[in-house]
Amino acid sequence: MSSAAQAYARVAQTSASPREIEAQALLKAANKLQAVLNDWNKVRNDEIAEAVLFNRKLWSIFLSAATDDKNPQTVDVRQRIADIGVFVMTQTAELQINPRSELLPALIDINRNLAAGLSGRA
């Protein structure tokens, strides 16, 4: 099991609601990306790769859930999640090929904003 999936599973074992679990996972990914951005000039390539890969794996889980016919969300909500997920996957693939700090803020903002919405803080 991937580290993102393991982290998601560990968080899922708590008494939090599924929405809160998702919010916590998104915040963890955002914090990893933010740490890389904060130390961009000092960070090693493997640290960038680890943060980006964690985010990519997390979003793979979200995309998989959004495309699952058993998902209880409306088709419209699932399509919006998929659209965001495609953008995130494109950005993370670009970061993996050609790491550039200017690609990180959008990913960080997406994760934080979705986490806030899931937690009822938006």
Dump pLDDT digits (tens) for 73-100: 899 999 999 999 999 999 999 999 999 9
Give the pLDDT score at 4. Answer: 63
Give 16's pLDDT tier (boundaries 50, 70, 90): confident
**What is the chain's mean pLDDT, rounded?**
88
Check if the beta carbon of residue 21 is closer than 8 Å to that of residue 74: no
The per-residue pLDDT for 80 is 93
DSSP one-letter code for 73: S
In whole angstroms, what is the distance from residue 112 CA to residue 24 CA? 10
* C-alpha span between 61 and 99 (Å, rounded): 23
Q: Kindly give, in sequence order, each residue whose CB lies less than 8 Å from that of residue 82, ignoring residues fewer than 6 positions away.
A: 63, 66, 67
The pLDDT tens digits for 29-61 are 999 999 999 999 998 888 999 999 999 999 999
